Amino acid sequence: MMEEIRIRKAQTPDAEQICGIEKLCFSEPWSREAFVSEFEENPRAYYLVAETGGKILGYAGLWRIMDEGHITNVAVIPEYRRRGVASAILAALLKETAEMGIMHHTLEVRAGNAEARALYEKFGFSVAGIRKQYYQKEKEDAMIMWRHHNEDTETGA
Ligand SMILES: CC(C)(COP(=O)(O)OP(=O)(O)OC[C@H]1O[C@@H](n2cnc3c(N)ncnc32)[C@H](O)[C@@H]1OP(=O)(O)O)[C@@H](O)C(=O)NCCC(=O)NCCS
Protein backbone atom coordinates (compact mmCIF):
# COMPACT_ATOMS: atom_id res chain seq x y z
CA MET A 1 0.00 0.00 0.00
CA MET A 2 1.16 3.51 -0.78
CA GLU A 3 2.03 5.95 1.96
CA GLU A 4 -0.17 9.00 2.21
CA ILE A 5 0.12 11.40 -0.71
CA ARG A 6 0.74 15.03 0.15
CA ILE A 7 0.05 17.95 -2.17
CA ARG A 8 2.42 20.85 -1.51
CA LYS A 9 4.16 23.74 -3.20
CA ALA A 10 7.09 22.79 -5.43
CA GLN A 11 10.55 23.85 -4.27
CA THR A 12 13.95 24.08 -5.93
CA PRO A 13 15.22 20.68 -4.66
CA ASP A 14 12.19 19.07 -6.41
CA ALA A 15 13.39 20.24 -9.83
CA GLU A 16 15.62 17.19 -10.30
CA GLN A 17 12.78 14.67 -9.88
CA ILE A 18 10.35 16.85 -11.81
CA CYS A 19 12.59 17.06 -14.87
CA GLY A 20 13.00 13.27 -14.69
CA ILE A 21 9.22 12.93 -14.91
CA GLU A 22 9.13 15.48 -17.77
CA LYS A 23 11.47 13.26 -19.78
CA LEU A 24 9.20 10.25 -19.25
CA CYS A 25 6.11 12.19 -20.32
CA PHE A 26 6.90 14.72 -23.04
CA SER A 27 8.68 14.85 -26.40
CA GLU A 28 9.90 18.38 -25.59
CA PRO A 29 10.68 18.16 -21.84
CA TRP A 30 11.59 21.23 -19.80
CA SER A 31 15.06 21.12 -18.25
CA ARG A 32 15.93 21.15 -14.54
CA GLU A 33 17.17 24.73 -14.98
CA ALA A 34 13.83 25.76 -16.47
CA PHE A 35 12.04 24.55 -13.33
CA VAL A 36 14.60 26.12 -10.98
CA SER A 37 14.08 29.42 -12.77
CA GLU A 38 10.29 29.02 -12.45
CA PHE A 39 10.52 28.36 -8.69
CA GLU A 40 13.15 30.99 -7.89
CA GLU A 41 12.77 33.79 -10.42
CA ASN A 42 9.25 33.83 -11.79
CA PRO A 43 6.88 35.61 -9.40
CA ARG A 44 3.93 34.63 -11.59
CA ALA A 45 4.68 30.90 -11.37
CA TYR A 46 2.71 28.64 -9.01
CA TYR A 47 3.57 24.94 -8.94
CA LEU A 48 2.33 22.06 -6.82
CA VAL A 49 3.67 18.52 -6.46
CA ALA A 50 2.17 15.27 -5.19
CA GLU A 51 4.71 13.60 -2.94
CA THR A 52 4.82 10.41 -0.93
CA GLY A 53 7.75 9.61 1.34
CA GLY A 54 10.04 12.04 -0.51
CA LYS A 55 9.14 10.68 -3.95
CA ILE A 56 7.44 13.07 -6.36
CA LEU A 57 4.62 11.31 -8.21
CA GLY A 58 3.39 14.22 -10.27
CA TYR A 59 3.16 17.98 -10.54
CA ALA A 60 1.25 20.80 -12.16
CA GLY A 61 1.79 24.50 -12.44
CA LEU A 62 0.64 27.71 -13.98
CA TRP A 63 1.49 31.33 -14.63
CA ARG A 64 -0.73 33.92 -13.00
CA ILE A 65 -1.58 36.63 -15.50
CA MET A 66 -4.12 39.14 -14.17
CA ASP A 67 -7.16 37.01 -13.24
CA GLU A 68 -6.09 34.16 -15.53
CA GLY A 69 -4.10 31.03 -14.79
CA HIS A 70 -2.17 29.69 -17.77
CA ILE A 71 -1.41 26.06 -16.97
CA THR A 72 2.06 25.12 -18.17
CA ASN A 73 2.59 21.49 -17.17
CA VAL A 74 0.62 18.58 -15.71
CA ALA A 75 2.25 15.16 -15.45
CA VAL A 76 2.23 11.99 -13.38
CA ILE A 77 4.79 9.15 -13.39
CA PRO A 78 3.39 6.41 -15.67
CA GLU A 79 3.26 3.72 -12.94
CA TYR A 80 1.20 6.00 -10.66
CA ARG A 81 -1.44 7.02 -13.18
CA ARG A 82 -5.16 6.33 -12.93
CA ARG A 83 -5.11 6.60 -9.14
CA GLY A 84 -6.35 10.14 -8.85
CA VAL A 85 -2.93 11.79 -8.48
CA ALA A 86 -3.44 14.35 -11.27
CA SER A 87 -6.97 15.01 -10.00
CA ALA A 88 -5.68 15.73 -6.50
CA ILE A 89 -3.03 18.14 -7.80
CA LEU A 90 -5.36 19.90 -10.21
CA ALA A 91 -8.12 20.26 -7.61
CA ALA A 92 -5.66 21.92 -5.23
CA LEU A 93 -4.17 24.11 -7.97
CA LEU A 94 -7.59 25.36 -9.09
CA LYS A 95 -8.82 25.92 -5.53
CA GLU A 96 -5.69 27.69 -4.28
CA THR A 97 -5.41 29.96 -7.32
CA ALA A 98 -9.15 30.73 -7.29
CA GLU A 99 -8.61 31.91 -3.71
CA MET A 100 -6.00 34.32 -5.12
CA GLY A 101 -8.62 35.72 -7.49
CA ILE A 102 -7.77 33.67 -10.55
CA MET A 103 -11.19 33.05 -12.04
CA HIS A 104 -10.23 31.76 -15.49
CA HIS A 105 -7.86 28.91 -16.25
CA THR A 106 -6.53 27.93 -19.66
CA LEU A 107 -4.16 25.39 -21.21
CA GLU A 108 -3.10 23.78 -24.46
CA VAL A 109 -3.26 20.04 -24.97
CA ARG A 110 -2.34 17.81 -27.88
CA ALA A 111 -5.45 17.01 -29.91
CA GLY A 112 -4.76 13.28 -29.60
CA ASN A 113 -4.08 13.28 -25.84
CA ALA A 114 -7.35 11.63 -24.82
CA GLU A 115 -6.31 11.01 -21.17
CA ALA A 116 -5.44 14.62 -20.53
CA ARG A 117 -8.48 15.96 -22.35
CA ALA A 118 -10.72 13.68 -20.28
CA LEU A 119 -9.00 14.87 -17.11
CA TYR A 120 -9.52 18.54 -18.00
CA GLU A 121 -13.13 17.98 -19.03
CA LYS A 122 -13.76 16.35 -15.67
CA PHE A 123 -12.61 19.61 -14.10
CA GLY A 124 -14.91 21.77 -16.21
CA PHE A 125 -12.51 22.79 -18.98
CA SER A 126 -13.91 22.94 -22.51
CA VAL A 127 -12.35 23.42 -25.93
CA ALA A 128 -12.36 27.03 -27.08
CA GLY A 129 -10.08 26.84 -30.11
CA ILE A 130 -7.39 25.02 -32.05
CA ARG A 131 -3.81 26.03 -32.80
CA LYS A 132 -2.86 24.21 -35.99
CA GLN A 133 0.44 22.30 -35.86
CA TYR A 134 1.30 24.00 -32.54
CA TYR A 135 3.59 21.18 -31.43
CA GLN A 136 6.82 21.07 -33.42
CA LYS A 137 8.19 17.66 -32.49
CA GLU A 138 5.72 14.91 -33.40
CA LYS A 139 3.65 17.58 -35.15
CA GLU A 140 0.12 17.91 -33.88
CA ASP A 141 -2.62 20.48 -33.35
CA ALA A 142 -3.17 21.95 -29.91
CA MET A 143 -6.63 22.28 -28.43
CA ILE A 144 -7.02 25.42 -26.35
CA MET A 145 -9.18 24.79 -23.32
CA TRP A 146 -10.67 27.23 -20.80
CA ARG A 147 -12.40 26.87 -17.47
CA HIS A 148 -14.35 29.72 -15.93
CA HIS A 149 -14.69 29.52 -12.18
CA ASN A 150 -18.26 29.36 -10.92
CA GLU A 151 -20.44 27.40 -8.51
CA ASP A 152 -20.66 24.38 -10.84
CA THR A 153 -16.95 23.99 -11.44
CA GLU A 154 -15.85 24.89 -7.91
CA THR A 155 -15.27 21.36 -6.64
CA GLY A 156 -13.83 20.03 -9.87
CA ALA A 157 -15.94 16.92 -9.48
C1 LIG B 1 -2.98 13.18 -18.08
C2 LIG B 1 -2.35 12.66 -16.78
C3 LIG B 1 -1.69 13.83 -16.09
C4 LIG B 1 -3.46 12.07 -15.90
O5 LIG B 1 -2.89 11.69 -14.64
P6 LIG B 1 -3.59 10.64 -13.67
O7 LIG B 1 -3.00 10.79 -12.32
O8 LIG B 1 -3.56 9.31 -14.28
O9 LIG B 1 -5.10 11.16 -13.67
P10 LIG B 1 -6.25 10.75 -12.63
O11 LIG B 1 -6.02 9.37 -12.11
O12 LIG B 1 -6.44 11.83 -11.65
O13 LIG B 1 -7.48 10.68 -13.62
C14 LIG B 1 -8.44 11.74 -13.68
C15 LIG B 1 -9.33 11.58 -14.89
O16 LIG B 1 -8.58 11.74 -16.09
C17 LIG B 1 -9.14 10.89 -17.10
N18 LIG B 1 -8.15 9.90 -17.48
C19 LIG B 1 -6.91 9.71 -16.92
N20 LIG B 1 -6.27 8.71 -17.56
C21 LIG B 1 -7.10 8.27 -18.51
C22 LIG B 1 -7.01 7.25 -19.50
N23 LIG B 1 -5.91 6.49 -19.61
N24 LIG B 1 -8.05 7.06 -20.34
C25 LIG B 1 -9.17 7.81 -20.23
N26 LIG B 1 -9.32 8.80 -19.31
C27 LIG B 1 -8.31 9.02 -18.47
C28 LIG B 1 -10.36 10.24 -16.49
O29 LIG B 1 -11.46 11.10 -16.71
C30 LIG B 1 -9.97 10.22 -15.03
O31 LIG B 1 -11.05 10.16 -14.15
P32 LIG B 1 -11.57 8.71 -13.68
O33 LIG B 1 -10.36 7.95 -13.20
O34 LIG B 1 -12.54 9.06 -12.61
O35 LIG B 1 -12.18 8.09 -14.90
C36 LIG B 1 -1.33 11.52 -17.07
O37 LIG B 1 -1.92 10.58 -17.94
C38 LIG B 1 -0.03 12.00 -17.67
O39 LIG B 1 0.92 12.38 -16.97
N40 LIG B 1 0.09 11.99 -19.01
C41 LIG B 1 1.31 12.39 -19.69
C42 LIG B 1 1.57 13.86 -19.57
C43 LIG B 1 0.46 14.67 -20.19
O44 LIG B 1 -0.04 14.35 -21.26
N45 LIG B 1 0.09 15.77 -19.53
C46 LIG B 1 -0.91 16.68 -20.02
C47 LIG B 1 -0.27 17.65 -20.93
S48 LIG B 1 -1.42 18.90 -21.47
What are the backbone dihedrals phi and psi of residue 93, each rounded to the nearest 5 degrees, phi first?
Answer: -60, -45
pLDDT at 157: 42
Q: Which amino acid is at 5?
A: I
**136 C-alpha to ligand 1 centroid (Å):** 23
Q: Give the β-pairing of 68-76 and 104-110.
A: parallel
pTM of the model: 0.94
Our answer on whether the CB atom of 25 is closer than 6 Å to any ligand 1 atom is yes
Mutation choice for ligand 1 from 5, 30, 82, CB with most ligand atoms inside 8 A: 82
pLDDT band at 3 (very low <50, low <70, confident <90, very high): confident
Our answer on whether the CB atom of 117 is closer than 6 Å to any ligand 1 atom is no
pLDDT at 81: 98
Measured distance CA(111)–CA(79) in Å, rounded:
23
Catalytic residues: 108, 120
Span 103-120, pLDDT tens digits: 999 999 999 999 999 999
Write down all domains in the chain, each with its CATH number in brackets: 6-148 (3.40.630.30)
What's the rounded mean pLDDT across residues 8-29? 97
The residue whose CA has the least distance to atom 27 of ligand 1 is 115
Span 42-85, pLDDT tens digits: 999 999 999 999 999 999 999 999 999 999 999 999 999 999 99
